[in-house]
Structure 1
Amino acid sequence: MPRVEPTCPQFDYITAKDAYPAMVAGFGSGKTEAAVLRSIMGKLAYPGLNRGFYEPTYDLVRMIAWPRFEEILTRLEIPYKLLKSPLNYISIEGKGNIFFRSMDAPGRIIGYEHADADVDELDTLKDKEAADVWRRILSRNRQKKPDGKPNTIGVTTTPEGFRFVYRTWKESPRPGYRIIQAPTSSNPHLPDGYIDSLRDIYPESLLQAYLEGEFVNLTSGTVYHTFSRELNNTDITEQRGEHLHIGMDFNVQNMSAVIHVIRDGDPVAVGEITGVLDTPAMIELIKDRYAGHKISVYPDASGGSRKTVDASTSDLALLKQAGFAVEVDRSNPSVRDRVTAMCSAFCNAKGERRYRVNVRRCPIYAACLEQQAYDKHGAPDKTQGLDHAPDAGGYFIAKRYPINKPKAGMKRIRGLA
């Protein structure tokens, strides 16, 4: 069998004897690779017993877990058979099965059992959901081992603030719960420039988590903490006939729109329309104020089914009927991704400020960016009316300037053929 040469944190995790080791790691540190290796090595150690492998969604099982298992099993020259939906397991010849499950439907974590398990990206789940999933996986982890050793569950994750993994493994760890830290820099197989590329797209506050694998407060202070009224300000205005890009948030009797131009590839907010009754009224205001301009609207995706006016036509359909180009996906990006895209555009870790706001012409937008805070649940507060304009601007930024995490490339297994 070929030799495996993991990084030091990977080796510590793969060989950990603790009941519940957690590899808390930065992007590109090889945590999923370590999870797969730990799963395979653990499976080989206990022929005939089952093992579980969990991802946040079925898409990640299909796109991440299965290809990684197939590649590694092939390189290790281990015969296997992958049985996809609806069975969802890998059968290793003479060694037993590895079951694959998603964590987005905890109620389906029933009807099977295993001796050990591996959980990838547990911290992407909200606190309550993560705790529920963890209890359910623990209940499945009950096949008795012939050598009497305890059942184990390994976790690999990027830290997402002070969530379930922090509380369980760091704040109040019980016996058997151990953290293995893995910074991005621990992986020598990353492509050149990978770490610098992360600094280009993430604000400094996130890099302790996403580069170092540290637990940091991602929900303290104001939501758009990188915005500066002085440093992000500009006197740029739209020019005659210029293409306008309008982010739009749908709210009955309180619709908001933030008007942008793009200069040298960068976004500039040059106007705002707030407190509008409904979509027909918003359309009328835009047509009146910006006659002669090409208009692209980047709305809240829920407008495909919602109606701000009592009529049979959806908000998105009304925008299209008005002659506007509508740029929207089937669903909105996650709130975290939208906020991160905004904060990075206002100022990334290199101090670059790409997103500028004409504060004089966008007074409400600027005030909301300065003042919106997080609520007690760690979500942007929506009780003070400060969310509408930033949401509108955020739909445009998240669509045109999304956070596209650079691919680290797959860490290869080296050794004798």
Structure 2
Amino acid sequence: MELVLTKHREEILKHPARFKVITAGRRFGKSVLGLMYLLRGQMQQGSNLWYITPNYRQGKLTVWPMLKSIMRTQHGWKINETELSCTQSGVTIAIKGSDAADSLRGSELTRCVLDEYAYQKPGVFEEVIYPMLTTTKGGALMIGTPDGFSNNNFYDYFIKGQGDDPLWKSWQFRTIDGGFVSEEELELAKSNLDEQAYRQEFMASFETAANRAAWAFDRSKHVTKATDLSSYRVAGIDFNVDYMSAVCASVYGDGTVHYYDEIRLKNSSTEQLCIEMKKRWPKVVETYPDPAGTARSTTSHRSDHQILREHGFQVYARRRHPSHRDRLNALNRKLRNAKGEIKMTVDPRCIYLIKDLEQVQRDRQGGIDKSNYELTHMLDACSYFLEYRYSVVQKIATSIEW
């Protein structure tokens, strides 16, 4: 079996991050990439290198034949068909299944691959694999095709790898990027699959069956870094003890809005949020907060709006809460209007806003589903500003106060 070092594989293998996350379309060549990750570099005596699939049988049928084919061309390796392992001079390369996760505990790991991670048992990395990597300071490669927003945290780790943590890095590749499937086959797949299934299986897009609140959002089109921020900057705010949330936007003359930073504080107060905003966003004066903040404070006898004004912020808010539908219409029209124009973008560092845009769902009334307290806060903060300034339906009653 020939291992070809393509430019995508080379980029991944040479990157210094300890934990790497790959979401890729079907037939991208994920298994080959995983084996190259395990076999790269020098192996010292006592090294344990594991390729972990969602179940033992899957690993035996798909990965084990490839590993055997490779190791048979290398001198001195002992192949054990029963254990699905290859050993030499104290080095062990083995195929494992996470369906019997407890049986994996106890060993020290040097490197591991978690294949089809979206289908791995929840907690297998955090509770079983990561502790085995700590003594060796070993690394892990998580690879797979997205399964919506699965019940493990494949999506969360992908988002983490898009941030600034040097230990984590993530990539997203389409099937066509792997070079193994022709454009003709992909066109055939389009005719045989619905759009959502095609985007998930061949475009490596995190999809979900329910109706997304930000239905016009597309990571590949809307997540980008701005080359230059405008001088006009505003902040949208959602008041909660968990989580106090604010998102900052740069607004351009043509009406384009670029969200470039966010603040998310746990077990906090409006006072603490104001201090952090002044520190992080000294140029921001205009704020577009939760309209309910005029009547009550999250943690103080003063109203949230009053606290904002005391810190020098100008407060723009409706006298009454706009409907969820009005906010979602304003948001989605900015994301993509009827002419196909994109008037809203998001910096990759805004991981919680992006998560909301991808995961928050609509309820049966067409509003925002609030059942998951971890979500919606950044989407709310973002949409208060958009609904106020770019409302689809013109409003009359407003309050503008210092």
TM-score range, shorter chain: 0.3 to 0.5
Higher relative contact order (CA 8 A, sep 6+): 1
